[in-house]
Structure 1
């Protein structure tokens, strides 16, 4: 028998644990994930979110540990995406008189498109309230964090923010709270989640944080990962820092190579950054997943990307990384960030030139120009590259 977990008096975690999830839309989830749902027992029993369709039985079994699911009167759907809303049909089959509360207009449109109009929907906007007994739930639209329909639900009685995708982590654990897992692990997972899902919408995060500034929050219950109860100020501070997109004096060097010349260039660029006193990470695309690299891109002032020319263009692995980077680049570009395209070539330097074009489209400043080397590496060429990087850094 699966059990619910009481997180505050009469408030229960009833979600599903996905121990085997390893890839979420191209983002590696080596620690699995959870699909968190929360049951509030009050005069009007309320379920906050559901889970992926394949975890519906797990959700219902946990709810049944506390009450008959038929007693649910409200299902608050903070987000249409199916890892949040996918079990709505299963819940509504057992609680056919429940009303579904969702954002206006996008949540209403999205749920109707997914599940039809046979259910009774209640659409809400920022500032609207729902009285469920001694509790009054309030709603705040968090548009584009990370879909147009996203919203969060706040219970002042419990001081709980049901934060949907914000503050989440793809992390499966038998422990359900931040202080049980340990802050370094949870923050690392939250950072990877932010970099690979939330980062493009950072300006919307800033707006959402402002809208929630006056709420008295002592627990954040996200839709994925562990619940924040001991380190709420820390994760709020990190979100403020990440969403500012303020770069750190930090460099990331990413490359793929055919016959080691671009590889030698990558190592030389790293050495130049080290000489200049700039902390640096090196990533060979053959050995590192792009979602792990993006976690390091999040704070980096310098992002160097290298490719040789292959078939009159850049290598497919580099193109895939840059495509992923472009999709996660904030609207308006990367303020204060420098992109450094580099690479080797034989008879045509289209490979590094395409890298430069892609970095520019992502919104990076190409202050260093494009750093290239023809044919195989040699001491003179690598020395010139080293000096070019130091010159670009003003050293």
Structure 2
């Protein structure tokens, strides 16, 4: 097997899953990785495991370097099964290993696998002496589960960042500078938007802690390892975590007989006329997680739907439910759409926007049946005025 070293004493022993295309509702067209790292010092330490179907691959990679029975410590930074479900298989090969994790992690591992190992609960400031290097533990609760933790290896100056700084991307090259950095940053943005967006305050706190550490390498639990573009991705996390936005407006809609679509395109034209970048998505064909990636830095969000049964179309209901869970910050929004004998979609969208934390400061626009020339002009002005409001907020 191909052996990859992060440093003199740290090895990559994870697995690349080229085939997964859905990660609990988040599309992964470039696949997924389950990253695990082996530290071979005076003591041997495994940082996280992998998803259960890849347990043998993990053990094979470890066996190339050292007998798994010689593992002294296993760090469980996060109990979600993509990180921990190979733990029972690893423990069968290394039954003497001590498992280090947070208190929430200990409770979660016992509940997930109905097994109790030799646990050592760690808290912030705790240090594990491996010999030449020491491993420092930093719990980061709700980034993005209560049990989440990151750890830092002195000497080698490696941050094992768990789900922070991750990306869902499969590649034969393990480091950022060996890959197309634009693809890596694109997937990092999509990852943040769909997984970490609700936890911006915790992200800012975590990044502030990292400023105190000399970091040569960031080794996340998913995607490539950062060694060249660390300032770039840390700056991105600061920007996203603070809820900052750009002069971009996302228009997401669905249409029953084409009237709402005509409105959407005319609104987009008004946005463009104001000098603002707009992007248009029809949700019956668009990838929701890609839309959310664009929403992350957008200053404005416009949601449109035809009215169906006094409410919005199902495709728009799914998007709004997803947005409500992610709770993006620093954004202004409005609704639009066409209806037949009675409306309802616009009010439903506005209520969901408010629940998602999006400021609804401008009345939306709705019309009956098919837009006439005057109504098309109204849509254009609506888009232009909304764009001006977004510009004023940047």
Gapped regions of structure 2 (runs ≥ 5): 390-394
Distance 1:394 1:235, change over 3 A: closer
Cα distance in 2 for partners of 1:63, 1:117 equals 23
Aligned twin of 1:20: 19
Cα distance in 2 for partners of 1:248, 1:118 equals 49
Cα distance in 1 for partners of 2:151, 2:143 equals 14
Query: SS of 2:299's equivalent?
Result: strand
- List aligned pairs for 1:260-339, cutoff 5 A: 260-330=258-328, 334-335=329-330, 337-339=331-333
Cα distance in 1 for partners of 2:2, 2:57 equals 9
Checking the alignment, whether the CA contact within 8 Å between 2:267 and 2:381 is kept in structure 1 is no
Residue range with higher mean Cα deviation, 58-67 or 379-388: 379-388
Cα distance in 1 for partners of 2:56, 2:373 equals 64
Checking the alignment, whether the CA contact within 8 Å between 2:339 and 2:368 is kept in structure 1 is yes
Kindly state the Cα deviation for residue 191 of structure 1 after the two structures are TM-superposed: 0.3
Residues 1:155 and 2:153 aligned together? yes
Cα distance in 1 for partners of 2:388, 2:245 equals 18
Distance 1:394 1:99, change over 3 A: closer
Kindly state the Cα deviation for residue 203 of structure 1 after the two structures are TM-superposed: 0.7
Aligned twin of 1:32: 31
Residue range with higher mean Cα deviation, 279-288 or 114-123: 114-123
Checking the alignment, whether the CA contact within 8 Å between 2:135 and 2:152 is kept in structure 1 is yes
Match of 2:246 among 248, 259, 264: 248
Kindly state the Cα deviation for residue 249 of structure 1 after the two structures are TM-superposed: 1.0
Kindly state the Cα deviation for residue 363 of structure 1 after the two structures are TM-superposed: 1.3
Deviations 1:52-80 (Å, cap 9, x if unpaired)? 01110110111111111100010000001
Checking the alignment, whether the CA contact within 8 Å between 1:341 and 1:370 is kept in structure 2 is yes
Residue range with higher mean Cα deviation, 343-352 or 27-36: 343-352
Cα distance in 2 for partners of 1:388, 1:320 equals 25
Kindly state the Cα deviation for residue 393 of structure 1 after the two structures are TM-superposed: 4.4
Distance 1:185 1:392, change over 3 A: closer
Gapped regions of structure 1 (runs ≥ 5): none
Cα distance in 1 for partners of 2:7, 2:185 equals 23
Aligned twin of 1:388: 382
Cα distance in 2 for partners of 1:208, 1:394 equals 34
Cα distance in 1 for partners of 2:181, 2:21 equals 22
Aligned twin of 2:340: 346
Cα distance in 2 for partners of 1:257, 1:394 equals 26
Match of 2:137 among 133, 136, 139: 139
Checking the alignment, whether the CA contact within 8 Å between 2:140 and 2:202 is kept in structure 1 is yes
- TM-score, normalised with respect to structure 2: 0.97
Distance 1:94 1:393, change over 3 A: closer
Query: SS of 1:298's equivalent?
Result: helix
Checking the alignment, whether the CA contact within 8 Å between 2:271 and 2:386 is kept in structure 1 is no
Query: SS of 1:65's equivalent?
Result: helix
Checking the alignment, whether the CA contact within 8 Å between 2:276 and 2:387 is kept in structure 1 is no
Deviations 1:109-157 (Å, cap 9, x if unpaired)? 1112112343100110111100111111001111111111111010011
Query: SS of 2:147's equivalent?
Result: coil
Cα distance in 1 for partners of 2:387, 2:152 equals 47
- TM-score, normalised with respect to structure 1: 0.96
Aligned twin of 1:376: 370
Cα distance in 1 for partners of 2:204, 2:388 equals 33
Cα distance in 2 for partners of 1:109, 1:392 equals 49
Cα distance in 2 for partners of 1:248, 1:53 equals 41
Checking the alignment, whether the CA contact within 8 Å between 1:309 and 1:315 is kept in structure 2 is yes
The aligned length equals 389
Checking the alignment, whether the CA contact within 8 Å between 2:245 and 2:299 is kept in structure 1 is yes
Checking the alignment, whether the CA contact within 8 Å between 2:272 and 2:384 is kept in structure 1 is no
Residue range with higher mean Cα deviation, 364-373 or 48-57: 364-373
Query: SS of 1:287's equivalent?
Result: coil
- List aligned pairs for 1:182-193, cutoff 5 A: 182-193=180-191
